[in-house]
Amino acid sequence: MTNELRVELGTRSYPIHFFNGAVSAIQQAVAEAGAQGRKSVLLTDEGVAVAQAEFLKQSFGSVPRLTVGAGEKSKSLESYGSVQDFLAANGVTRQGLLWVVGGGVVGDLGGFAAASYLRGIDYIQVPTTLLAMVDSSVGGKTGINLAAGKNLVGAFHHPRAVHIAADFLATLPPREFAAGMAEVIKYGLLGDATLFAQLEGTVLAPAHADLPAVIRRCCEMKAGIVRADEFETAAEGGRALLNLGHTFGHAIEQVTGYSAYLHGEAVAVGLAGAARLSQKLGLIAAADVARIERTVAAHQLPVRLRAPLTIADLQAATTRDKKNRADGVRFVVLNSLGAAATRSGIPPALVEEVWRELGAV
| Predicted confidence (pLDDT) per residue in 20-35, tens digit | 889 999 999 999 999 9
Distances (CA, A) of 272 to 207, 241, 293, 336: 27, 16, 6, 14
Those residues with Cβ within 8 angstroms of residue 198's Cβ, 6 or more apart along the chain or in another chain: 188, 210, 214
| Active-site annotation holds for 322 | no
174-357 adopts what CATH topology? Dehydroquinate synthase-like, alpha domain (1.20.1090)
pLDDT (0 to 100) of residue 326: 64
Is the predicted pLDDT of residue 327 greater than 80, yes or no? Answer: no
Is the predicted pLDDT of residue 168 greater than 90, yes or no? Answer: yes
How far apart (Å, rounded) are the C-alpha atoms in residues 179 and 160? Answer: 26
Q: Does domain 2-171 have CATH number 3.40.50.720?
A: no
Question: Which one of the listed residues 17, 75, 141, 323 is annotated catalytic?
Answer: 141
Give the DSSP H/E element, type plus range, for residue 10: none
Question: Which one of the listed residues 263, 276, 299, 323 is annotated catalytic?
Answer: 263
Question: Which one of the listed residues 8, 32, 78, 236 is annotated catalytic?
Answer: 236
Question: Which one of the listed residues 150, 158, 246, 276 is annotated catalytic?
Answer: 246
- Quick count: other Cβ atoms within 10 Å of Cβ 11? 4
Question: Which one of the listed residues 183, 230, 253, 265 is annotated catalytic?
Answer: 183
| Active-site annotation holds for 239 | yes
Those residues with Cβ within 8 angstroms of residue 309's Cβ, 6 or more apart along the chain or in another chain: 252, 255, 256, 359, 360, 361
Q: What is the average per-residue pLDDT within 247-263?
A: 95
- Quick count: other Cβ atoms within 10 Å of Cβ 160? 16
| Active-site annotation holds for 119 | yes
How far apart (Å, rounded) are the C-alpha atoms in residues 15 and 224? Answer: 13
Give the type of residue at 199.
L
Question: Which one of the listed residues 150, 222, 323, 330 is annotated catalytic?
Answer: 222
| Active-site annotation holds for 250 | yes
Those residues with Cβ within 8 angstroms of residue 242's Cβ, 6 or more apart along the chain or in another chain: 135, 139, 186, 190, 222, 225
Is the predicted pLDDT of residue 179 greater than 50, yes or no? Answer: yes
- What would the DSSP string read from start to end of 308-343? ---HHHHHHHHTT-TT-BTTB--EEEEEETTEEEEE
Question: Which one of the listed residues 75, 239, 323, 330 is annotated catalytic?
Answer: 239
Q: What is the mean pLDDT of the chain?
A: 96
| Active-site annotation holds for 17 | no
| 202: phi then psi, degrees, rounded to nearest 5 | -135, 125
Strand partners for 98: 41, 123
Geometric angle at alpha carbon 3, from 218 and 180, rounded to 5°: 30
Question: Which one of the listed residues 250, 299, 323, 330 is annotated catalytic?
Answer: 250
What is this structure's pTM?
0.95
Which of 105-114, 253-262, 290-299, 317-326 shows the lowest per-residue confidence on average (mean pLDDT)?
Answer: 317-326
How far apart (Å, rounded) are the C-alpha atoms in residues 29 and 211? Answer: 26
Q: What is the average per-residue pLDDT within 347-359?
A: 97
Q: What is the average per-residue pLDDT within 215-233?
A: 97
| Antiparallel, parallel or unpaired: β 65-68 and 40-45 | parallel
Does residue 97 contact residue 40 with C-beta atoms inside 8 Å? Answer: yes
Question: Which one of the listed residues 230, 243, 276, 280 is annotated catalytic?
Answer: 243
pLDDT (0 to 100) of residue 1: 43
Is the predicted pLDDT of residue 283 greater than 70, yes or no? Answer: yes
Domain residue spans in the chain? 2-171, 174-357
